[in-house]
Amino acid sequence: MHKYKIFQIIFLTILCFEFSGLNSVYAAKQVISTGIVEERVKDLTTQIHWYKNLKEAEAIAKAQNKMIFWVQMLGDIDGGT
């Protein structure tokens, strides 16, 4: 009898978990897997030269008649952020 009650509690708890929506944390977010992240960061940092000095970037932009895309970020563009 005691064993039956334990099974009953477990089963009801699982049902509550299933229908409560708590497991919706598993709903898909757009996650980019590690291999693709590495590949894209490599593309970004090899196909585009990233200047670290704004004055230098301004001089190149003037010479090439282009605008500047200047990112202020926590971390490094090719490392940990």
Partner 1 sequence: MRAVSLSVDPAFSDLKDNFICGYTDIKHKWYCGKSGKHEVDSVAVDTSNGAGPHNIQMFMLSADGTVLNCLPGYWCSQDLNLELELASDLNKVWLDPNLSQGQKDKIFVQKQLNHILDHPMSMIQHSKMQGFDRNAEFKKNYIPDTVSNPQLFLEQATGHINNNFRNAAFNNNANAILNTDNSVDPSSLRLTRLNPVTLYRQRQKQVDPIFKTTDEIFHERMAANPFISFDQFDTGSFVSYGTDHYDKGESKMGPNGNKFTAKKAVGSIFRQVLNQTPLAPAYSLYQFGSGNNHFVSAESN
Question: Is 2 a binder of partner 1 (CB under 8 A)?
Answer: no
Q: How far is the CB of 35 from partner 1 (least distance, A)?
A: 8
Backbone angles phi, psi at 35, to 5 degrees: -60, -45
- Strand, coil or helix: what is 22? helix
* 34/57 Cα distance (integer angstroms): 31
Binding of partner 1 by 20 (CB under 8 A): no
Tokens of 9: 């509690």
Residues contributing to the site for partner 1 (CB under 8 A): 7, 10-11, 13-14, 17-18, 22-23, 25-26, 28-38, 40-41, 43-44, 47-54, 56-58, 60-62, 64-81
